[in-house]
Structure 1
Amino acid sequence: MRLYRFLSEADTSAFCHKVTEALNKGWELYGDPTQTFDHASGVMRCGQAVIKEVDGTYTPDIKLGAQ
């Protein structure tokens, strides 16, 4: 089955570390990264979709971050 996650974080090194961790766990980048201004918090936010192919059958209780 194919899993999908959307990673987001303030535009700091924490975002890069989050994406790097996912890549090192076997996730692959999916599409282009995004960036937008969060008016509520006054910061730029980044986002990146990632996908991963794994064995098994999808259920809504899958912990995507643990994959």
Structure 2
Amino acid sequence: MKAPPDGLPVYRVLTGPDDVAFRRRVGEALATGCRLHEGPSVTFDGDRVVVAQAVVWPRAGDAPSA
């Protein structure tokens, strides 16, 4: 597939509290064929841990992620 499914952008930043729902969203992005872009950013907002993870759609010719 040359383009992301369902009109998704080729670069996205997923954010949210570090919980099951956030990890599920990252897992769903990986299942569609996206790859992680670098490591996550993590911060603490005083009440909870908040995470940001960028995902990218691979370009033609890119090696698949392991």
Question: What TM-score range do you get, normalising by the shorter chain?
Answer: 0.5 to 0.7
Equivalent pairs counted in the alignment come to 53
Q: TM-score, normalised by structure 2?
A: 0.67
Residues of 1 paired with 2:30 and 2:58: CA distance?
A: 13
Residues of 1 paired with 2:58 and 2:42: CA distance?
A: 26
Deviation (angstroms), 1:18: 0.7
Residues of 2 paired with 1:32 and 1:53: CA distance?
A: 16
Q: Percent identity?
A: 37
The partner residue of 1:24 within 5, 20, 31 is 31
- Mapping for residues 36-55 of structure 1, pairs under 5 Å: 36-39=43-46, 42-53=47-58
| Structure 1 unmatched runs, 5+ | 55-67
Residues of 1 paired with 2:51 and 2:21: CA distance?
A: 10
Q: Relative contact order (alpha carbons < 8 A, sep ≥ 6): 1 or 2 greater?
A: 1
Relative to its length, the structure with more strand (as a share) is 1
Q: Does structure 1 residue 8 correspond to structure 2 residue 12?
A: no
RMSD: 2.4
